Amino acid sequence: MAQDALPTDFDVIVLGTGLPESIVASACARSGLSVLHLDSNDYYGSTWASFHLKSIGEWADEQMKDTNGTDGNPTADFSHHLLPGERLELVSPARRKVIKNVQHSWHVENAPQPPAAELKEEKTTATVGEPNDSVEQSSTAAVESPTVPQETQLAPTDAKDPQTTTLPSAETTVPSAETTVPSAETAVPRWTRDRVEKDWRRFNLDLAPKVLRARGPMVQILCQSEVSRYAEFKCVDRFLCSGEHGNLHQVPCSRAEIFQTDAIGVMDKRRLMKFLTFALNWENEPEEYRGFEDKPLKEFLESKGLTGLLQSYISDTIASLQTNPNTVEGLRAVNKFLTSVGRYGNSPFLWTLYGSGELPQCFCRLCAVYGGIYCLRHSVDYLIINGDNRCTAVVTNGQRINCQFLIADQSYLPEEFVHQRKSVTAVQRAVLITDRPLEASDDKEHITLLNLANDDNLGTVHLLEAGFGACIAPKDLYVVHLTAACSSAYNASIEQPLSKIVHKYFSTSDDVTSDNVASLANRPRLLWILYFDVVTEMDVNKETIPSNIGVVCLPDATLDYETTVESAKELFALFWPDRDFLPFALPKEEEDEDEAQHEDVAGPENTQTEQSSTADTAENSTEHRDEAKAESVTEAKSE
């Protein structure tokens, strides 16, 4: 196999291609360190990935498998790799599954044509094939061809390679989709399962959906590292909040929107604007909120006459970067929100087109541009630890590869380096496919954010909705992400708390009249749903873990990437305090070909080139003049 091709020494080995690891990997490579980036999966992104409709089903099924008893490669003997004083530590990713409580189901049936027996709502489909851990047989693959299928994985009918599955599914679904069209004309367009599945490639379903704050650290590092070139973004352009009777209202977030809205009177507009203007400069006006510092933001808002809908606007949306804030935290959050409005349009947030899973890949790409080597489907069996409790190497595919530093998410850590947490925390997720947007008020398609205040023991629930325009769903379908933090007493056995919200805002049957919530009669129809939890059960054992292993965090429930980027930054600064974290790219050569010939193009000389532009003109014009002369001569002759 290609394992021989892998060099034996790296500065940094990164395990897992989730977002924080990928950011650190790219920062290392950008800084000139040699990087080997391994992932046991056959896709990029780990728990930060995006999948299309087929592969997310496979992913879910994979997560549901019973994983006991297949740890690394315990039978093989790798002791010949060891130097004196070194020992092997077994890596057992299967033991530390972070995705739990997975559940996915269809809420529409197939078109009535095929035999009815197979079309019942089914919760799981794939129990095919033995959990023959593909990890062992994985091969190295270059960045460009990460999806080369493994033969062993292809054996079951539930094939993973998209190309082999396209044809049959397309053949079966196309005719049925056509037959549904006539019925769609007679009634509300009725979606069928096969009609949704037909466009499976058009979906990009995120495991960890987040938005980028326009003036947040993610945008900053994307811009300065120029990783932004690899991805495209759109503004989150609609903010909803839940009003008094559970009705959804559109939140005006910018001056222009406040001016335009009909939902609030002019006096309320004034109060809202006044508050927002104050919040932009809140740090310099402490007397405005004196006495409220540690009290809940709500109380401060009430003291300013901001009640009812205005308060919902602020606490549910404009201050949503902080959950349950006190006045100072709340004002800081409002300030962050507001200072980001206007940089890329009338919204503080950006959405990554084609799904949030694009971002880890973009950073991997930057890493690869600077020489990082990528191997997917490449698990690590052992870490090699020396007598000074430093990780000196990893063993992968029977090969020893030395490293100075190791970066990994916690699922790659040997048992000895972690311990059970006292309180398990979890991010609860639901991914929905629906047939229409929430609270459709105009014809435009939006990327929508709705924050729902907590009930039960859930924190704020972030609801993100986007569709075709955000490149995550086929035309006329919408993807909804629910994300909530479950901070205390996580119990995987209780019924998904998010399902309450799902049932409140989405309808699971076409029979609208049976709903007694009149205001929500026009709820979007739920077509498909996936629930899962990202669970943190383990903590790093600071006493035992080697000092040169950096552990990155799992996706949290926050709305934006601030915590993620900051943690990656911190990790990098800890190991490489004297290196710049994703610094600005070097100035490019002048586009002007003329100037490219001179070597003194960058820096202060630029001003000189500006000044000489008039002289440039002259040069061009004389050339042109000669041409013109020639032309006029020929013309004269012809006449």
Partner 1 sequence: MHFVKKEPTTEEQKEQKRKEREKKLKIFSAARDRLFDKRQKGELDEEVLAISGQLLQKNPDVYTFWNIRRQALILISQKIAAENSDDEAKRDERLAALYKEEMILTEACIQENPKSYGAWFQRGWVLERTPKPDYQFELKLCNLALRLDERNFHCWDHRRIVCRLANIPLEDELKFSDEKVNDNFSNYSAWHYRSSLLARTHPDPDGRLPMDESTLAKELGLATNAFYTDPEDQSAWFYTSWLFDDQHAFAEGPVPVWVTVDRKKSTILLVMSGAVEAKTVGDMIATDADGEWIPADSQAQSSQVWLFKSSSLGPATKVTLSYKALDVQVEDEWTDLDAIRALLAPANPEGSLKTALEKMLASCQELATVEPHNKWPTFIATLCMRRLDAQANHDQILSNLEKKLPELDPKRAGMYADLASDIRVDRFLLDALAEYSPVPDTLRMVRMELTSLGQLHLFAGRLTQLDLSENRLKSVAALRRLPLLEYVTLNSNEISSLECLSDGMDNLEFVSIASNGLTSVQQIADLKKAKKLGRLVVCENPFCDDKEQLEELRRVFGDSVRVIPFWL
| Closest CB to partner 1 among residues 201, 624 | 624
C-alpha to C-alpha distance for 13 and 578, rounded to whole angstroms: 19
C-alpha to C-alpha distance for 313 and 330, rounded to whole angstroms: 13
Report, in Å, the least distance between residue 602 CB and partner 1: 5
| Closest CB to partner 1 among residues 455, 600 | 600
Report, in Å, the least distance between residue 605 CB and partner 1: 6
Report, in Å, the least distance between residue 280 CB and partner 1: 13
| Closest CB to partner 1 among residues 296, 342 | 342
- Long-range CB contacts (< 8 A, 24+ apart) of 176-181? 176/110, 176/111, 176/113, 176/114, 177/111, 179/111, 179/113, 180/111
| Closest CB to partner 1 among residues 256, 489 | 256
| Closest CB to partner 1 among residues 488, 622 | 622
| Closest CB to partner 1 among residues 149, 342 | 342
| Closest CB to partner 1 among residues 132, 608 | 608
Report, in Å, the least distance between residue 32 CB and partner 1: 9
| Closest CB to partner 1 among residues 186, 638 | 638
Using CB atoms within 10 Å of the CB of residue 604, give its burial: 0 to 12 exposed, 13 to 18 middle, 19+ buried: exposed
Q: Which residues, other chains included, contact 618 with Cβ-Cβ below 8 Å and sequence gap of 6+?
A: none
Three-state DSSP state, 221: helix
C-alpha to C-alpha distance for 160 and 153, rounded to whole angstroms: 7
DSSP 41-70: SSSSSGGG-EE-HHHHHHHHHHHHS--TT-
Instruction: Please count the other Cβ atoms lying within 10 Å of the Cβ belonging to residue 422.
Output: 6
Report, in Å, the least distance between residue 1 CB and partner 1: 33
Report, in Å, the least distance between residue 239 CB and partner 1: 17
| Closest CB to partner 1 among residues 503, 625 | 625
Three-state DSSP state, 35: strand
Instruction: Please count the other Cβ atoms lying within 10 Å of the Cβ belonging to residue 129.
Output: 12
Write phi, then psi, for 459 (nearest 5 degrees): -75, -165
Report, in Å, the least distance between residue 150 CB and partner 1: 36
Report, in Å, the least distance between residue 444 CB and partner 1: 14
Contact 539/415 with Cβ under 8 angstroms?
no
Residue ranges with strand state E in 66-158: 87-90, 99-106
Contact 15/395 with Cβ under 8 angstroms?
no
- Measured at the alpha carbon of residue 579, what is the angle toward residues 575 and 585, in degrees to the nearest 5? 135
| Closest CB to partner 1 among residues 521, 602 | 602
Report, in Å, the least distance between residue 182 CB and partner 1: 38
Report, in Å, the least distance between residue 296 CB and partner 1: 25
Report, in Å, the least distance between residue 622 CB and partner 1: 5
Query: Binding residues for partner 1, per CB under 8 A?
Result: 255-256, 258-260, 266-267, 269-270, 273-274, 585-586, 589, 598-600, 602-603, 605, 608, 611-622, 624-625, 627-629, 631-632, 635
Instruction: Please count the other Cβ atoms lying within 10 Å of the Cβ belonging to residue 515.
Output: 15
Contact 481/529 with Cβ under 8 angstroms?
no
Q: Which is nearest to 581 in space by CA: 46, 222, 213, 210?
A: 222
Report, in Å, the least distance between residue 108 CB and partner 1: 39
Report, in Å, the least distance between residue 638 CB and partner 1: 13
| Closest CB to partner 1 among residues 159, 585 | 585
Report, in Å, the least distance between residue 349 CB and partner 1: 19
C-alpha to C-alpha distance for 152 and 139, rounded to whole angstroms: 12
Instruction: Measure Cα distances from 172 to 70, 112, 114, 178, 198 in Å.
Output: 37, 13, 9, 11, 9
C-alpha to C-alpha distance for 43 and 162, rounded to whole angstroms: 13
| Closest CB to partner 1 among residues 252, 348 | 252
| Closest CB to partner 1 among residues 519, 612 | 612
| Closest CB to partner 1 among residues 171, 599 | 599
| Closest CB to partner 1 among residues 570, 616 | 616
Report, in Å, the least distance between residue 29 CB and partner 1: 12
Q: Which is nearest to 254 in space by CA: 242, 265, 268, 238?
A: 238
Pairing state between β 349-352 and 233-235: antiparallel
Q: How many CA atoms lie within 13 A of 380 on its CB side?
A: 31
Kindly state the tokens that stand for 199. Answer: 């466009």
Q: How many CA atoms lie within 13 A of 567 on its CB side?
A: 16
Q: Which residues, other chains included, contact 327 with Cβ-Cβ below 8 Å and sequence gap of 6+?
A: 289, 292, 293, 294, 295, 296, 297, 299, 300
Q: Which is nearest to 358 in space by CA: 16, 17, 8?
A: 17
